Structure 1
Amino acid sequence: MSDILKVTVLGTGVLGSQIAFQAAYSGFDVTAYEISDEALDQARHRFETLVETYVKEVTGAADGKAAEASRRITLTADLGAAVANADLVIEAVPEVLEIKQALYEKLAALAPDRTIFATNSSTLLPSDLKAFTGRPDRFLALHFANSIWKFNTAEVMGTDDTDPAVFDTLIAFSSAIGMVPIPVRKEKAGYVLNSLLVPFLNAATDLA
């Protein structure tokens, strides 16, 4: 059982929108943050497309469950409001170190002390960011594969500072949103999903 109830996803690009939608589809209250009203309009379109995708490709989604998921997502361009009540913040902003570091410095001042921060970075290690979070014991990586409804894996990678209880909480959360957790107890450059699993799954798809 996950201790997470309210989830905030920062960034609604291809993967950020998928993470937010999958969490909402799994019954969580989700807030999706973007930097502008224009970006929020794009996010709304992505969520509409995901409803259609789930109806077509996910068993059980066509009975209204996919449409219901979209109603569990609150969109906002106010960072403070986005994280004010979050149990978990999943960061999925562009893979630029300085952008992520600056964002975590803002989050450190805005989010409740209890809030867990997780980066979905596919190239940066959590240790590249932990000093900027204000809570290195409650920070780790939570890395998903693209097409999350098909490649339902979640890589959980902590740092030397990550509280083991927080690590376990993210393992439980991953299961609660329908993922197969891949625990990585020691930081590994390149990530398991990048180096092995996704190429294997893509090859299998090509053969299907």
Structure 2
Amino acid sequence: LAMDYRLLLPQLPPELRDLVYTQTVTEDNHATSTGLDFTSKIYDSSHTRVEIIPVHYGNPALLALQRYHFLEGGEYQHFILKNAVQLRIHVMFKGHTNTFVQEHWDKKMGAHLKNLAKRYPWLRKVADYDIRILWKPASWAPSKKKRRVGAIAKRMVEVLTQEMDADQRASRGVVKTDLRVADFVVSDHILKGEALGLGEFVWELDAGARK
């Protein structure tokens, strides 16, 4: 049987309803996962723990209209998924730096993200990423054959954002990054006169994206 929908804004055409929806998305609201069909995903391995949390700053009350069969409730959810989701990604490096192989991590994480995007296609339309990396290894030792902290973290960000739709990246892509290194690691590197390579973490993203 066809569902009979109720209308909250019957006099407004769709384009004006979108303008109304836009005004409800503000960082004055609390970040929430209400209305999203997945709330978090954790990928845990011997070297890293990666948690992906999608949130938005929309209005949960408007999303709740779906329960009462208001057409605008479904429209608003579609609007949020298309325009207003932020992906928060928390990475903790916890393994041994000298046994970490960047190429292996890239391949495994890339496959995880591709599968996640297949299951939730709206993820590819997300253009706002907030990535925070905590460098807290179980052990570390200098090696000319291994990348330094900054280069590893930079590559992680590139892999974690590779599912972003190219058009979204070019038109409104925003990637915020934060790299924090545990105090005991910093102290040890200072005492030994070794560089962490943090300058390698600062770079220009693809044209159209802002860091």
TM-score range with shorter-chain normalisation? under 0.3
Query: If the length of structure 2 is used for normalisation, what is the TM-score?
Result: 0.26
Between Structure 1 and Structure 2, the one with more helix by share is 1
Question: Which structure has the greater CA radius of gyration?
Answer: 2
TM-score, normalised on structure 1?
Answer: 0.26
